[in-house]
Amino acid sequence: MIETRKGINHIALVCRDMKETVDFYTGVLGMPLIKTVELPDGGQHFFFDCGGGSSVAFFWWKDAPAMAPGIASVKDFPYDAKTAVGSMNHLAFHMDEADLEASLDKLEAAGVPHTHAVVNHDDSQMGVAKDMHEGVFVRSVYFTDPNGIMMEFAAFTKDFTPEDVRHEPARMDA
């Protein structure tokens, strides 16, 4: 077995404008730019420190394929959040629960599209609850970056136990 429990080194995404992306990740999200690379094909690859030894990296190419909402990215969260097999649905950053409310104000002040309330995820049929209760396992704020990538600030509210794993994995052919 390969040891993979040291965390994520980085996730690599694609942006439409590197300057706009640098301004957003450094200025709005406060992630230091830690490495830049000029690629031999004229592109760029930049890395941002997102804490805990992990990075968010972006590729940029002048001739990159166009955005594909509803295929490669979320089209309209929470109403149409499905994305294609092999795509990235969203990227969640750990945040302390006490900081979630303040993040809403900061996103609003920066003009970033976002949910206008903290979302309480639970095991109900809808998967969310209006109010905090003992069944809420994660609280979230969702927003999009300048590239249309859905992001999340997430705070787990409980430690998981074996009882939290109770669903059989679905099969395409079933």
What is the mean pLDDT for each group of 10 consecutive residues in the chain (174 residues)? 78 95 96 95 94 94 91 86 87 94 95 94 90 94 94 94 89 77
pTM: 0.86
- Does 61 lie in the same domain as 28? yes
- Does 104 lie in the same domain as 60? no
Decide if 57 is inside a domain. yes
- How many domains does the chain divide into? 2
pLDDT of residue 5: 74
Which of 68, 90, 119 marks a domain boundary?
68
- Does 37 lie in the same domain as 97? no
Give the CATH number, domain containing residue 17.
3.10.180.10
pLDDT of residue 174: 64
Distance CA 85, CA 88 (A): 9
- Does 139 lie in the same domain as 157? yes
Dihedral sign, CA of 5, 147, 79, 171?
Answer: negative
Decide if 23 is inside a domain. yes
